[in-house]
Structure 1
Amino acid sequence: MKKRIGIIGGTFDPIHIAHLIMANEAYHALELDEVRFLPNAAPPHKEISGQTTADERCRMIEKSIAGIPYFKLDPSEVLREGKSYTYDTMKDFKHNEPDSDFFFMIGGDMIASLSTWYCIQELKKLVTFVGFERPGYQTTESEGVLMLKGPVVDLSSTLLRKRLVEKKNCSFLIPEAAYRYILEEGLYES
């Protein structure tokens, strides 16, 4: 029987509850064996804030998913460095794990731009894209994305970085252990 693996990629700068909710909803709805959090080294479609290192972003993920046995940190893209093209990563995963099916999770904001992704037609042969609604974005299954219903949380890392810089409370929005780490290490203070 093939292993069913969910992948949630992103900068996770910082990770927040919407990431965890999306991963957990997909885990249950798709009967996945595990969900891997795949932080980008350098995403081709946006800039990382520059306020945190890849190691710090990985530490936030580790702290956020500790104790959840079906959630894993996969630092493949961070270790590879350079631009993080999903196609290259998934090609490696398929080569190394040919008996696995991969489900790549994206938010509603990414669905409209999916056609611009590097080697998208080849990538669609390697993964099933799983989309989640996001307020303010029109989403349909016509883009070849399997849409899942779940709690809709209008939250972004951009908003959280702004709040953290302004020293506003982010309790309940960032997983508690990651938030504590951010405060202890003074991340996002400038």
Structure 2
Amino acid sequence: MQHTVTTLEVKAQNQPETELESRSVRVGLLGGTFNPPHLGHLVIGEQVARQLELEKVYFMPNAIPPHVDHKEAIAAVDRVKMVQAAIQGNSLFDFELAEVERGGISYAYDTLLTLVQKHPNYEYYFIIGADEVAYLPTWHRIDELMQLTHFVGVNRPGVSAPKSEFPIQFVTVPDLDISSTDLRQKIAHHESVRYLVPDLVAAYIFEKGLYQDDDRN
């Protein structure tokens, strides 16, 4: 059963929303399953924030990703708490619970529509990997989504900046060849993930016994 997360379970760590509501704010959104979050995610968030001069990057765990078998993801509450652990200590980072609180399939259009209505003074920059750019034409209500956010593409190992019919702003980040799939397999095989995930994330994984018998892809 999909475990949803409420705002009572996880509290925002950084400045109150009210401090950002009175003026125009450029913020990033980095969505994903975060199953688990790793240093590659943090590097992307940091580099995009610095290069585009964003005031915040919100890490946004999804409930059920539209293009991935949701059975691969552990409970949302664990993924959210790992994200919370991963971003501790960086004032540029925070998290957004819109998708896990809504539940169901996490379509970016639905999410951005809700967020823009909630924070009309926010200018959103939606961060995706270069490997996802080719699939944008298949995204739910993509033309309308383009009116709600700026898309930012970042290079992935072996994939740079592909051509797109959509306006994509590309940011070059260090190529860290780390994947959540590989991390789950390493943990399942009792291999070290030190320096691949933040220490607090690793501690949470082993405290909760996550991925210990994980034979999923």
Task: Please classify the TM superposition score into its range, dividing by the shorter chain length.
Answer: over 0.9
- Which amino acid is 2:199 matched to? E
2:66 corresponding residue in structure 1: 44
- Which amino acid is 1:88 matched to? D
User: Per the alignment, in what secondary structure is the counterpart of residue 136 of structure 1?
Assistant: coil
User: Per the alignment, in what secondary structure is the counterpart of residue 181 of structure 1?
Assistant: helix
1:178 corresponding residue in structure 2: 201
CA contact (8 A) 2:62 2:99 kept: yes
1:21 corresponding residue in structure 2: 43
Deviation at 1:5, TM superposition (A): 0.8
Deviation at 1:139, TM superposition (A): 2.4
2:31 corresponding residue in structure 1: 9
Which whole-Å CA distance do the structure 2 matches of 1:29 and 1:36 have between them? Answer: 16
CA contact (8 A) 2:29 2:59 kept: yes
Which whole-Å CA distance do the structure 2 matches of 1:124 and 1:141 have between them? Answer: 16
CA contact (8 A) 1:41 1:54 kept: yes
Number of residue-to-residue matches in the alignment = 190
CA contact (8 A) 2:26 2:55 kept: yes
What is the 5 A alignment of 1:151-166? Answer: 151-166=174-189
Is structure 2 residue 105 aligned with structure 1 residue 102?
no
- Which amino acid is 1:111 matched to? V
1:51 to 1:92, Cα distance in 2 relative to 1, 3 A: closer
TM-score normalised over the length of structure 1? 0.95
Q: Aligned to 1:66, which of 88, 100, 106?
A: 88
Greater displacement, 148-157 / 16-25: 148-157
Q: Give identity over the alignment, percent.
A: 37
Which whole-Å CA distance do the structure 2 matches of 1:150 and 1:98 have between them? Answer: 29
User: Per the alignment, in what secondary structure is the counterpart of residue 146 of structure 2?
Assistant: helix
User: Per the alignment, in what secondary structure is the counterpart of residue 42 of structure 2?
Assistant: helix
Q: Aligned to 2:171, which of 140, 148, 153?
A: 148
Unpaired stretches in structure 1, ≥5 consecutive residues: none
CA contact (8 A) 2:152 2:169 kept: yes
User: Per the alignment, in what secondary structure is the counterpart of residue 38 of structure 1?
Assistant: strand
CA contact (8 A) 2:134 2:162 kept: no
Is structure 2 residue 131 aligned with structure 1 residue 87?
no
Which whole-Å CA distance do the structure 2 matches of 1:59 and 1:145 have between them? Answer: 31
For the aligned residues, what is the CA RMSD?
1.4
- Which amino acid is 2:145 matched to? L
Name the structure where helix makes up a greater proportion of residues.
1
- Which amino acid is 1:22 matched to? I
Unpaired stretches in structure 2, ≥5 consecutive residues: 1-22
Deviation at 1:47, TM superposition (A): 1.9
CA contact (8 A) 1:130 1:146 kept: yes
TM-score normalised over the length of structure 2? 0.84
Greater displacement, 132-141 / 79-88: 132-141
Which whole-Å CA distance do the structure 2 matches of 1:165 and 1:112 have between them? Answer: 32
Deviation at 1:144, TM superposition (A): 1.9
Is structure 2 residue 139 aligned with structure 1 residue 117?
yes
User: Per the alignment, in what secondary structure is the counterpart of residue 184 of structure 1?
Assistant: helix
1:137 corresponding residue in structure 2: 159
